[in-house]
Amino acid sequence: MTQDTIERRLSPQLCHRVRGEDTFPVEWRPLDGRERFAVRASWPTDHPFFTPVRRGGERYHDPLLVVETLRQATMALLHSVHGLPLTRHILLNEISLSCDPAGLDVEGGDPDIEIRFVELVLRGGQLSEMLVEWTVRRGAGVVATGGARARFAGGAAYRRLRGGRVEAGVVRPGPWTRRAPAPLAGRARVDDVLLAPTGREGVWELVVDTAHPTLFQRPNDHIPGMLFLEAGRQAVSAAVWPRPCLPVSLRIAFDRYAEFHGGPCLLRAVPAGGDGPAATEAGAFEVTGYQDGARLFTCALRTG
């Protein structure tokens, strides 16, 4: 068997997950040395959090399930192929995705993913930065493309970067009683709603529930970025209600860490084309997050 045909199974640990049911990449094989890889994944139709999105009479895989699959597969390859230690800290700069909703029909087959590391930067013999591009196919058709940029830091550098705010195993469970209505946020269960009303139109407070079994599987010393991507989608869902919110493109760029012990994280979603019903109908939004007056992230999201 040649190297190009060897397939390697992926474990939850390599994908930074704890439970197998939350691990979506299945196996990988090299396509071109250490830069291009084929990954086979499996998308569930009954996952408790990444549930299908309904539009009309059709059901589509959640585009954020696609993002999570690509994120997991990339991390697994960084550890398996490029020697990134599991103890290394991953500092996510940005993630982007464009997809064809028709290609995400839940009746389609499992996805085949091509991952290409466009840029890998070493400093002192350690991987310090990466730029990755993704192509997702089902059958012969491309259904999604995207990419991500990230940096990596060891323990000492990470502690300096965090300014002493690193607290291993920080858990901040809190019983939230005033979440937004689940349908408004595009969710079926209130436990999955990440928005709490602030009394200001279009402005939401982030719900940080570290008891959530999918979003918080491991101890964190900061609020994870994927939480903001989901919260941004929910803020857009509220803005276009009662139309369904099925993202066809998104890009989120992170400015700084969000702290458990900081003030409330506030999100605001506004139409990208200006105010008014026409701009809302166009479906392009910009979501911005703040904490203690400092910007945390910006997310451009377009619905189909």
- Give the model confidence (pLDDT) of 147-183 as tens digits: 999 999 888 888 888 876 666 555 554 555 689 999 9
Same domain for 49 and 84?
yes
pLDDT tens-digit profile of 259-281?
Answer: 888 889 999 999 987 676 666 76
Same domain for 200 and 238?
yes
Does residue 16 carry a pLDDT above 60?
A: yes
Same domain for 153 and 187?
no
Kindly state the DSSP code that residue 293 receives in the 8-state scheme: T
Q: Report how many domains make up the chain.
A: 2
Same domain for 155 and 240?
no
Query: Which CATH number do you get for residue 273?
Result: 3.10.129.10
Q: Which domain holds residue 188?
A: 165-303
Same domain for 190 and 118?
no
Choose one of 116, 134, 161: the last residue of a domain: 161
Per DSSP bridges, beta strands 284-291 and 53-55 are unpaired
Q: Taking residues 40-68, report their average pLDDT.
A: 91
Same domain for 27 and 156?
yes
Q: Taking residues 100-113, report their average pLDDT.
A: 92
Cα–Cα distance between 66 and 304 in angstroms, integer?
16
Choose one of 129, 161, 193: the last residue of a domain: 161
Same domain for 175 and 263?
yes
Q: Where are the alpha helices (DSSP H) in the chain?
A: 63-80, 155-162, 225-240, 277-282
Cα–Cα distance between 180 and 78 in angstroms, integer?
38
Same domain for 142 and 170?
no
